[in-house]
Amino acid sequence: MQKASIFLGFVPWIVFSVVAGPSTWEWAALAALACSLILAVPDWRRSRSISILDAAALVFFAVLFVLSLVLDRAALQPIEDRAQLLSSVVIALVALGSLAVGRPFTEFYAKKQAPPEVWNTPTFKQVNRVLTALWGVVFVINALCDAAVGYWGANPDVFNWVVPIVAIVVAVKITAWYPDHVRNRLHAGGSHGAHGAHEAPAQPA
């Protein structure tokens, strides 16, 4: 797959995080929902499947937007105050939940490039478990940053921007590096030989 595949899966969540505010979160939910549809429809038309990130985004942002239409301002206030925190918690649960049930969300993207015969190999599974755990930690950090600003009055510039951006950049770098690292280690192992090279997964980012 293209190097940006996993990152594209995060686009609706990033759009929501950037646009959402006390008076704009409804429009942020609509914009994120539109992005989710743009990403999910081609995959669905091609393979009749979509990533768990896209599925979660479609449900979450659709629910948020519908609630903004049907609830009054008093009922919407708790959602308005914590919209970004809710989105961070949801995506963290999706990532870690996919890992817990044995279907790491990064596998969807890795399978776009890796041949079917390696999908069930231990190396392919291990690389995607590690990368999914990595991104799960990033989303937990983002949720904690949102909570720090919303509940404890932490500096929003640091905890809404600097820390999340640094965490995402580090995760992107590791996602690009780790599959090649595993592949090179298999090559250097000697005992795996050509099988190790074939088993190593395609870069999932």
Give a yes or no: residue 190 inside a domain: yes
Whether the per-residue pLDDT at 1 is higher than 60: the answer is no
Per-residue pLDDT reduced to its tens digit, 9-61 = 888 998 888 787 777 888 889 999 999 999 999 989 988 899 999 999 999 99
Residue 159 lies in a domain: yes
> What's the pLDDT score for residue 199?
52
For 97, how many CA atoms within 13 A lie in the half-sphere containing its CB?
A: 9
Q: Is the pLDDT of residue 198 over 50?
A: no
Task: Give the domain range for residue 120.
Answer: 5-199
Q: Is residue 194 very low, low, confident or very high in pLDDT (cuts 50, 70, 90)?
A: very low
Query: Is 205 within a domain?
Result: no
In this prediction the pTM is 0.84
Query: Does any domain span residue 136?
Result: yes
Take residue 142 and report the two structure tokens written for it: 């983002």
Q: Is residue 204 part of a domain?
A: no
Q: How sure is the predictor about 126, in pLDDT bands with cuts at 50, 70 and 90?
A: very high
Q: What percent of the chain has pLDDT over 70?
A: 90
CA distance 8 to 37: 12
The pLDDT, as a whole number, for residue 190 is 53
Average pLDDT over residues 183-187: 85
How high is the mean pLDDT of the chain?
86
Domain count, the chain: 1
Residue 18: name the closest of 167, 165, 155, 132 by CA: 165
**Contacts made by residues 174-178, CB under 8 angstroms, sequence distance 24+:** 174/131, 174/134, 175/6, 175/106, 175/131, 175/134, 175/135, 175/204, 175/205, 176/3, 176/203, 176/205, 178/127, 178/130, 178/131
